[in-house]
Amino acid sequence: MRPAVRDELLRINRAFYQKLALSFAATRARPQPGVVRALAGIDVQASVFDAGCGHGLAARRLAEGGHRGPYLGVDASERLIDLARQRVEAPWAKFRVGDFAEPGWQRDLLGEAGHSFDWALAFAVLHHLPGEDLRSRVVDDLRSLLPSGGRAAVSVWDFAQSDRLRARVVDWASVGLQEGEVDPGDALIDWRHEGRGIRYVHLFTPEDLADLASRSGFTVLSEYRSDGQGGRMGLYQVWCV
């Protein structure tokens, strides 16, 4: 994928999550069942890095479960981070604005010395990153935050499980691109709740997600499907260093 195409897809998603943050949050009042299942495996004392934390659903769920360990939630949308800070006022929880698509985001957020976490979360994040190179780099970055034995819980959106969402795929020409310029599995999905917008999404197979983990030195410990139509629209994996 050409850098210019990658950058345009990133711009589309950044614009969506900034402009339609309130609309997006209104449709997600509680974490998905698959997220709840993944969070249940995290010790209350564990340190957690939440990549793409949105408006704080995972942090709020952890708080409801008595979590006490350090937590850092990061998202590129300032408006979603503002909502997260309003929703979660636990003393152990911090939220920062940061963009994982930008090289050097760890230094900007964590300082030169960096930091180590017991868990990294990446729920509904990786499918918004265009291009194999960028996705691999971000997973490498998350891997660098974990010690030996550290774990990551990730999920990606399988919109192909829904007839309704497949019907809402937008033609690439609507954003000035051609199908041959993007990767197989890439799509634009329109949004129709309290405003109109589009989002870039990459469709993963379980094998694609496991291969992404393996290339960064992770071992896949478990895999399951959950959420949405038929309980199959979210593909989840738990990885271990």
Can you give the residue ranges of every domain in the chain? 3-240
Is there a contact between 100 and 52 (Cβ–Cβ < 8 Å)? yes
Q: What is the mean pLDDT of residues 172-184?
A: 93
Q: What is the mean pLDDT of residues 217-228?
A: 95
pLDDT exceeds 60 at position 55: yes
Is there a contact between 232 and 240 (Cβ–Cβ < 8 Å)? no
pLDDT exceeds 60 at position 112: no
Quote the CA–CA distance of 174 and 4 in Å, as a whole number.
16
> What pLDDT does residue 43 have?
96
Q: Predicted confidence band at 16 (pLDDT cuts at 50, 70, 90)? A: confident
Is there a contact between 149 and 240 (Cβ–Cβ < 8 Å)? yes
Q: Predicted confidence band at 109 (pLDDT cuts at 50, 70, 90)? A: confident
Quote the CA–CA distance of 52 and 122 in Å, as a whole number.
6
pLDDT exceeds 90 at position 228: no
Q: What is the mean pLDDT of the chain?
A: 91
Is there a contact between 204 and 156 (Cβ–Cβ < 8 Å)? yes
> What pLDDT does residue 69 have?
96
Q: CA-based diameter of the chain, in Å?
A: 49
pLDDT exceeds 70 at position 194: no
Where does 3-240 sit in CATH, by number?
3.40.50.150
Find all residues with CB under 8 Å of 217, minimum gap 6, and list them.
143, 241
Single out the residue of 51, 175, 55 nearest to residue 120, CA to CA: 51
pLDDT exceeds 80 at position 190: yes
Quote the CA–CA distance of 27 and 22 in Å, as a whole number.
9
Helix (H) / strand (E) element for 217: namely none
> What pLDDT does residue 82 have?
92
